[in-house]
Each structure stands twice: as structure tokens, then as C-alpha cells.
Amino acid sequence: MATKLTPKELAKNVERLTPGHRLCAGCGASIIVRQMLAAIDEPVVIANATGCLEVATTIYPYTAWRVPWIHNAFENAASTISGVEAAYRSMVRQGKIPEQNIKFLAFGGDGGTYDIGLQALSGAVERGHQFLYVCYDNGAYMNTGIQRSSATPLGAHTTTSPAGKVVPGKQQHRKDLTAIMAAHNIPYVAQAAPSKWRDLMEKTRKAVNCGGAAFMNVLSSCNRGWRHNTDETIEITQLAVDCCYWPLFEVENGEWRLSYTPKEKRPVEDWLKRQGRFRHLFRPENRYLIDVMQKEVDRRWEHLLRLCGAA
């Protein structure tokens, strides 16, 4: 019987990502991993792309992982876990190992997923391997110095899209990777956030039991890159959800469904003003970018409502 998704029952589980790792206080990635692994009762095997999660949990000769875990290059976490899954099924067919209900997962940041890992991810899901790929999306290459990625929001200050007198931060909107993965017509795709922990955990269970390739995009606040206090991670993440910058939904066998609708849709400005990376947007000469971003958030939200039959 699956563990009930209640704090009382979940607290009885052995932590699969242990204390003592070197991730920053308030890091969204560690919260996401703990929540997702707590939702899975079965044995797991994990591939981890190079990034904050990898380097901070496995500083030689230590590891914070209590599960089989594989580090691979920045760009090929999906290839690695698809190879592991294929090898396991081959060995079962040959009678070399007994069949078990093992769940195969890969974790990568937005740099290793939206950008240089997209080819490997697309190929792995197209081949139909049975695994869950999780992108912890913190909106930049945080591990190597906060460089912009295609997940970086419009107007954000990064070290490669610095806000100055001529160029006020990143000039492009964020790529919609979740929609790109849904276009692969795989059994399960979802967008989630750790502030809605039960929703995240329920989606995790659906993903690992969908019978094929699954993808989840999870908003992962980085207080270092987003420039907010370490105790504000969950609050600021929820603001992103409530202003519909990061809507929560799932695509199950081609059917789109909203999993959360804000009682009151907050303006995107409420989310932006809590982060130092957007501070320059509140200068008079740059405020137009807030309006541009609000218009795009509204457009994407209305499109999502139509896809989900909720318009």
C-alpha cells in the first residue's frame, strides 16, 4: 500500500537525500528532491546532470544520496538513465536478475535541460524509455556563476545578461519547455512547484507509474541568483504560481488539465519586486518591461485555459 501523502506518514520514511549536503540554505532543488523521493515507495535509480544538485551533494569522498546514483555530463542525463533502464530490462529478459518495480529518474537544472541537454532528452522520450526526467528550473546556470539560460525570465539580471544603461537585463521571454515536452506525445508531462507539495508529490506518483516516458518541470527558487532571503523560498515560489508566471497543470495521455487555479490572480509585479534580479525594472525608464512581461504571462495563461477547456 502506498504511503499516505500526509506529513505524519511521510515523516516515517527514511530520507533518500540526507542532511549534510552543501546546497545553499533555502535551495529549492533540495526541497524538490526530498518531496519527490518521499512520494515514491519503490526502489529508485537516479542519474544526475552536472549542476548545483550534483556538485553540492557529492563532494568527494562523500555523498548525500541513499539510493543508486549516477553522475553524468552536463548534457546527457536523459541518455544515461535511458541506458540504465534499457540495460535493466535486458538483464531481466535474460534471467540474469529478478524483475523489480524499480523507478528510473533523472534530475537536471534548466541549463542542462532547456539548453544543452534538450537533444538527449528529446531522443530518450521519443524512444519510449520508461523513466521520469525532472527539470529543477531555477532560471539560469546558477552553478557556474548565474549566467542566463533559455529559462531565464525577461528582464532578469544575470552575469551574461547584466542590467545596465543600454540593455536592462535579458531581452527574451522564457522558453516554454513544458509545452515542448507535451508535444512529444509522451504519457505524462506536468508543471509543479514545491510550495504546493501535495500536488508535486501526487504528480510524481502519476509520472513514475505512467508506463512510459514522463517529464516534470518544477520551479526551483535560487536565493543566490534570484536575490532574496533564504527563508523566503516557498513564499516567493508560491507568488510565481499565484501570478500565473508558473501555472500548475498536467498533460496525461494528451489531455491537458489545470491542477491549481488562483483564487485571485496576482499581478506579476508582486513576484518581481521580491527579487533583487529584477530591481532595475522598477526604475522609470525600465518599467515598460514589467508591462511586457505581464502581457506575455496573461497571453500564456489564457492559452493554457483554452488547452485545459477552462476558458
- DSSP assignment of 260-279 equals ---SS---HHHHHTT-GGGG
- Chain-centroid distance of CA 243 in Å reads 18
Q: What pLDDT, on the 0 to 100 scale, is given for residue 124?
A: 98
pTM score, two decimals? 0.97
| 103 strand-pairing partners | 44
Q: What pLDDT, on the 0 to 100 scale, is given for residue 173?
A: 98
| pLDDT exceeds cutoff 90 at 209 | yes
For cell 510524481, name the residue: 204
The superfamily CATH assigns to domain 22-307 is: Thiamin diphosphate (ThDP)-binding fold, Pyr/PP domains (3.40.50.970)
| CB distance 250 to 257 below 8 Å | yes
Over residues 95-113, the mean pLDDT reads 97
Confidence of residue 115 (pLDDT cuts 50, 70, 90): very high
Q: What pLDDT, on the 0 to 100 scale, is given for residue 108?
A: 98
Q: What pLDDT, on the 0 to 100 scale, is given for residue 81?
A: 98
Confidence of residue 121 (pLDDT cuts 50, 70, 90): very high
| 168 strand-pairing partners | 163
| pLDDT exceeds cutoff 80 at 311 | no
Q: What pLDDT, on the 0 to 100 scale, is given for residue 1?
A: 73
3 state SS of 175: coil
pLDDT above 90: percentage of residues in the chain: 98
| CB distance 276 to 228 below 8 Å | yes
Q: State how far the alpha carbon of 201 is from the alpha carbons of 5, 68, 167, 197, 206, in Å.
A: 8, 21, 40, 6, 9
Confidence of residue 268 (pLDDT cuts 50, 70, 90): very high
Of 11-15, 185-189, 207-211, the poorest mean pLDDT is in 11-15
Domains of the chain, residue spans: 22-307
Show the cell assigned to 193.
512547484
β-sheet with 44-48: strand ranges across: 69-71, 44-48, 103-109, 132-137, 214-219, 188-192, 249-252, 255-258
3 state SS of 299: helix
Nearest-angstrom CA–CA distance, 155 and 296 = 13
| CB distance 36 to 201 below 8 Å | yes
Nearest-angstrom CA–CA distance, 171 and 155 = 6
Q: What pLDDT, on the 0 to 100 scale, is given for residue 2?
A: 86
**pLDDT tens per residue, range 214-245:** 999 999 999 999 999 999 999 999 999 999 99
pLDDT above 70: percentage of residues in the chain: 100
Q: What pLDDT, on the 0 to 100 scale, is given for residue 161?
A: 97
Q: What pLDDT, on the 0 to 100 scale, is given for residue 181?
A: 98
| pLDDT exceeds cutoff 90 at 35 | yes
For cell 513564499, name the residue: 235
List, as own/partner pairs, every contact residues 91-96 make where C-beta atoms lie below 8 angstroms and the sequence separation is at least 24, other chains included.
none
Q: What pLDDT, on the 0 to 100 scale, is given for residue 175?
A: 97
Over residues 165-183, the mean pLDDT reads 97
